[in-house]
Chain A
Amino acid sequence: MTVHNIYIFDRMGTLLYYQDWNRLKNSGMTKEEEAKLMYGMLFSLKSFVNKISPTDPKEGFLYYKTSKYTLHFLETPSGLKFVLNTDNHSQGVRDFLQQIYKEIFVEYVVKNPLCNLNEPIQSELFKTKLDAYVKQSSVFLTKSM
């Protein structure tokens, strides 16, 4: 089981934060372009899922899976979007994302008066806390690749 990378977007689609751990293949474009592409895809997927749903879509789009990886998506009521790519065996990633939001993002970004919301996160403390949190989690167990 392994974590590949994380994206955090705000309500307007600004990329607040990006970090990768075990990313084996690059998209071949700049980070900004990639973030736009990612946000656009999520936006479309969300509306697609909600439109096409035959029943009342409570939470809407949660994740998608390919043969190689799974993309997990968490949107908070305030419109923040947490996107985490893992391999296909990871479990409990949704709770894990919720924890990242609650224990790392709220603690070290929202409660840091020097962090402007809706701007890319510069705080070193946030960076180290998130890195440590992901690395000690059960989702993050690097396979020898």
Chain B
Amino acid sequence: MEDTLLDLLHSEIINYTLQNGDEKDKKEEDLSGLEYIGFSTGYRIIERLTKEMPRFKDELDTMKFICTDFWLAVYKKQIDNLRTNHQGVYVLQDNAFRFLSRLSSGKQYLEAAPRYVAFTCGVIRGSLANLSIQCLVTAEVQSLPSCKFHIQVQRM
């Protein structure tokens, strides 16, 4: 039941933010508000999840934590594939992303998919920010319900 609650709340947050967005730029939906909600959520949830964990060795170790424990806690499954070029770019692939899994399996509703991944982009960015990794997170959806998150670490 609590899973359903999160799903429904998540979709209502999307409706709400889209309704309140400025009407001036019609062709591109403004998802930054959504992303920011995700950022604060991710930033806070990290404190709760890592309270009994040792520190992470390095960046890759942190990413692995995101793919396994973190994803399991938030999305009830692990990331299916993690790839990196060892220069600060990571690609996390989820083949059955929770917020897309009930929409369609294929191309139907593809144009609406960005709305349902923006929050999660923010969650990842917020979590990593609290683990002292500054980064850019974007998502790519080619065919639902699979989704790729691109993480680009900002080097100082």
- Which residues does A use to contact B, with CB under 8 Å? 107-108, 111-114, 123-125, 128
Task: Determine how close the nearest CB of chain A comes to the CB of B31; give it in whole angstroms.
Answer: 15
Cβ B108 vs Cβ A113 within 8 A: no
With A111-B7, A113-B11, A114-B112: A128-B102 Cβ-Cβ less than 8 Å:
no
Cβ B14 vs Cβ A125 within 8 A: no
Bin chain B's interface residue count: 10 to 19
Cβ A123 vs Cβ B4 within 8 A: no
Which residue of B11, B14, B106, B112 is within 8 Å of A124 (Cβ)? B106
Cβ B8 vs Cβ A111 within 8 A: yes
Instruction: Tell me the B62-109 residues at the A interface (CB within 8 Å).
Output: 102-106, 108-109
Task: Determine how close the nearest CB of chain B comes to the CB of A129; give it in whole angstroms.
Answer: 9
Instruction: Please give, as numbers and ranges, the residues of chain A lying within 8 Å of B104 by CB-CB distance.
Output: 123-125
Which residue of A108, A112, A113, A123 is within 8 Å of B15 (Cβ)? A113
* Contacts A112-B103, A113-B116, A114-B112 supplied; 13 other A-B pairs, CB < 8 Å: A107-B102, A108-B102, A111-B4, A113-B12, A114-B109, A123-B103, A123-B104, A124-B104, A124-B106, A124-B108, A125-B105, A125-B106, A125-B108
Q: List the A residue with the shortest CB-CB distance to B3.
A: A111
Instruction: Tell me the B113-149 residues at the A interface (CB within 8 Å).
Output: 116
Cβ A112 vs Cβ B102 within 8 A: yes
Task: Determine how close the nearest CB of chain B comes to the CB of A10; give it in whole angstroms.
Answer: 19
Q: How far is the CA of A85 from the CA of B126 in the complex (A)?
A: 52
15 A-B pairs with CB atoms under 8 Å apart are A107-B102, A111-B102, A112-B102, A112-B103, A113-B11, A113-B14, A113-B116, A114-B103, A114-B109, A114-B112, A123-B103, A124-B104, A124-B108, A125-B102, A128-B105
